[in-house]
Amino acid sequence: MGTIAIPHLTRAPSRRRAMPGFGLTLGFTLSYLSLIVLIPLAALAFNAAGLGVGGIWKVLNTSQVINALKLSFGGALVAAAINAVFGSLIAWTFVRYDFPGKRALQAMIDLPFALPTAVAGIALTALYSVPTVPSPAQGWLGVPLEALGVKVAYTQLGVIVAMTFISLPFVVRTLEPVLEQIDRQYEEAAATLGATRWQAVSRIVFPALQPALLTGTALAFARAVGEYGSIIFIAGNLPNLTQIAPLLIAINLDQHEIGAATAIAAAMLALSFAILFAINLLQAWVRRSERKSA
Amino acid sequence: MSTMATTHRPFRSATAEPLSVRWLLIGFTFAFLIVFLLLPLIVVFVQAFAGGIKAYFAALADPDSLSAIWLTLKTAAIAVLLNTLFGVAAAWLVAKFEFRGKDFLITLIDLPFSVSPVISGMVFVLIFGAQTWLGGWLIDHDIRIIFAQTGLVLATVFVTFPFVARELIPLMQAQGSDEEYAALSLGASGWQTFWLVTLPNIRWGLLYGILLCNARAMGEFGAVSVVSGKIRGASNTMPLHVEVLYQDNKMVAAFAVASLLALLALLTLGLKTFLEWRHGDELAALRGR
């Protein structure tokens, strides 16, 4: 063994062979990224630029488009807020308590990611609508809710239900690992110093969770804004009332109104990127103020 | 007196909530997930079998359904293969080398996640549609991209673009390059090092990424909906066929095809949970995101 090792020892340490494959992987990654993602998105930007600000504004400045954008962004905001609250409670329950059936519930959380959106769409519609003819599984929730005076299917509430369904896993999945890593000794110290359990949770655990909660909520929001398949069935798609912005894009493409579709798509992308950018800034600010107070 | 009173109270750790709160939260989680997530899934199967088992299989054996199933399998196979090759290459690049603009590259790889599915399909209409110079040239030469399988594949590749790469990048970064350097210094070639050292190390993470990528590829609706033209028996994938049957008010058939997709979702969740449970330590780098 020693005789084999000797020649290596006499070599200069810098003779270590370089990792191969830089040129190959860089070339492939960049060309594939450009072909599939960057050039197509650039085509959208190029088409939007061709319309000009005036041209885009002319398309956007109709009540149908404005209402659709309001519904997509407003609905996504409500859905993300609902998920922030319920998702936090669910993540807390998963991480802090042990109970029978937990693993099954945890596997179920990802169902909205795994279930194709069109399937979710028709299932939610069957569940929340009120059947006009007797039907086996239709109206399980729609009928009792209607008796309470709440209409879900074919209303804006239905849009929000679908958006909440599709983006539920984000907050839970982002919070879980962070909650797992929180050191319980600060909560113990707070309890020793006479804090109530609620004070310890709200003043010690919650601030530590804030950045992850913000990330999870932002992801949920981004997903809900662009969502299409799970919404269009339950929405009923009434102009000015339950039409979402992606549906207007699809309708315009169907009618070969490429310019109108481009204008709405450009507005949607610009708005979502601006909001995500603002959230990133907010997060950096939260982190900085935390470091200052620590 | 006060010590007497406290010893009679049931014991509770200082960092646990009262039993009532705990039960309330567990009860809420059960109720919410069962009503909100499980019920829609059950509805799919109840509706699919509403006309009996015969009607269910008759709906699936319909030529248009079979053609949709076949098209979905082909499209997903190509898209998953391409994105797997890309994911491995991108992860090798990011994990093994230092270069400027790396963080920006990772951001660009994740970009398709923040684009609406409809827009993801639409960008290919903007490039290859009949209204463009390129689209006109393609029509003159009888090459079909939009309203044909190539368009479906492109749209699917776009929406599932980040899946494999974003599982592999953190995994390979966490594993480091020591084993690869050892193999290289013992005289292995670059490809030998990849096949014999790297691949066995990342196989479960790779499988995990392929699983999620495939589930999304087979289930994608919005992006393929705008490039397909929805020609029955020709350019309809399973999710698009579900919509067509639903619009035609053929509920049993729509939910029968939907039930196959729901089964795929259940299979994906099952395998994913199994991988997390069986190979959780090797996938540790994937958690925490």
Domain contains B168: yes
* Residue B274 in contact with partner chain A when CB distance is under 8 A: no
pLDDT in tens, A136-161: 778 899 999 999 999 999 999 999 99
DSSP for A184-217, written as a single string: THHHHHHHHTT--HHHHIIIIIHHHHHHHHHHHH
- What part of B 90-109 touches A (C-beta under 8 Å)? 90, 92-93, 96-97, 99, 105, 108-109
Which residues, 6+ apart, have CB-to-CB distance to B245 below 8 Å?
Answer: B253, B254, B257
Report the b/e string of B121-159 with b at 16+ CB within 10 A. bbbbbbbbbeebeebeebeeeeeebbbbbbbbbbbbbbb
Provide the residue type at B52 as one letter. Answer: G
Q: What is the pLDDT of residue A291?
A: 75
The answer to whether the CB atoms of A229 and B239 lie below 8 A apart is yes
- What part of B 60-79 touches A (C-beta under 8 Å)? none
What does residue A151 show for φ and ψ, rounded to 5 degrees?
A: -100, 130
Q: A26, A115, A176, A269: which to substitute to probe chain B, counting the most B Cβ within 10 Å? A: A115
Provide the residue type at B200 as one letter. Answer: P
Smallest CA–CA distance, residue A294 to chain B, in Å, is 22
- Between the alpha carbon of residue A268 and those of residues A8, A250, B28, B125, B236, the distances in Å are 60, 13, 35, 17, 27
pLDDT in tens, A74-131: 999 999 999 999 999 999 999 999 999 999 999 999 999 999 999 999 999 999 999 8
pLDDT in tens, A41-53: 999 999 999 999 9
pLDDT in tens, B215-247: 999 999 999 999 987 777 778 999 999 999 999
Mean pLDDT for B271-285 is 81
Name the pTM for this structure. Answer: 0.90
pLDDT in tens, B94-125: 999 999 999 999 999 999 988 999 999 999 99
Domain contains B59: yes
For residue B122, give the nearest of B15, B222, B237 by alpha carbon.
B222
Identify the structural domains of chain A with CATH numbers, from first to last.
53-284 (1.10.3720.10)
pLDDT exceeds cutoff 60 at A233: yes
Average pLDDT of the residues of chain B: 90
The answer to whether the CB atoms of A25 and B221 lie below 8 A apart is no
Residues of A in contact with B39 (CB under 8 A): 127, 140-141
pLDDT in tens, A81-93: 999 999 999 999 9
* Residue B195 in contact with partner chain A when CB distance is under 8 A: no
* Residue B176 in contact with partner chain A when CB distance is under 8 A: no
Residues of A in contact with B38 (CB under 8 A): 108, 111
Left (φ > 0), alpha (ψ -120 to 50) or beta: where does A149 sit? left
With CA atoms as reference, the chain A residue closest to B40 would be A123
The model's confidence at residue A16, banded by pLDDT at 50, 70 and 90, is: low
Range of the domain at B258: 53-287
Q: What is the pLDDT of residue A195?
A: 85
Which residues, 6+ apart, have CB-to-CB distance to A116 below 8 Å?
Answer: A229, B218, B219, B220, B221, B238, B239, B258, B261, B264, B265
The answer to whether the CB atoms of A28 and B43 lie below 8 A apart is no
pLDDT in tens, B151-202: 999 999 999 999 999 999 999 999 999 999 999 999 999 999 999 999 999 9
Smallest CA–CA distance, residue A287 to chain B, in Å, is 18
DSSP label of B282: T
Smallest CA–CA distance, residue A293 to chain B, in Å, is 24
Which residues, 6+ apart, have CB-to-CB distance to A205 below 8 Å?
Answer: A179, A182, A187
pLDDT in tens, B9-30: 555 677 778 889 999 999 999 9
pLDDT exceeds cutoff 70 at A3: no
**Whole-angstrom Cα distance, residue B109 to residue A25?**
14
CA B139 to mean position of chain CA atoms? 33
The answer to whether the CB atoms of A108 and B38 lie below 8 A apart is yes
Can you give the CATH number for the domain in which B276 is found? 1.10.3720.10
Q: What is the pLDDT of residue A280?
A: 82
The model's confidence at residue B146, banded by pLDDT at 50, 70 and 90, is: confident
Domain contains B208: yes
Q: What is the pLDDT of residue B267?
A: 96
Mean pLDDT for A164-186 is 92
Instruction: Quote the tokens at residue A166.
Output: 């599709």
The answer to whether the CB atoms of A136 and B215 lie below 8 A apart is no
Instruction: Quote the tokens at residue A292.
Output: 């200052």
Contact B61, A135 (CB under 8 A): no
Domain contains B24: no
Count Cβ atoms below 10 Å from residue A126 Cβ, excluding itself. 29
Q: ipTM of this model?
A: 0.90
**Whole-angstrom Cα distance, residue B69 to residue B218?**
9
The answer to whether the CB atoms of B261 and A119 lie below 8 A apart is yes
Of B28, B96, B226, the CB nearest to A253: B226
**Whole-angstrom Cα distance, residue A152 to residue A160?**
9
pLDDT in tens, A24-47: 999 999 999 999 999 999 999 999
Which residues, 6+ apart, have CB-to-CB distance to A35 below 8 Å?
Answer: none
Count Cβ atoms below 10 Å from residue A10 Cβ, excluding itself. 7
Which residues, 6+ apart, have CB-to-CB distance to A244 below 8 Å?
Answer: A68, A71, A72, A75, A159, A227, A228, A231, A232, A235
Residues of B in contact with A138 (CB under 8 A): 47
Per the structure, the count of domains in chain B is: 1
pLDDT in tens, B61-87: 999 999 999 999 999 999 999 999 999
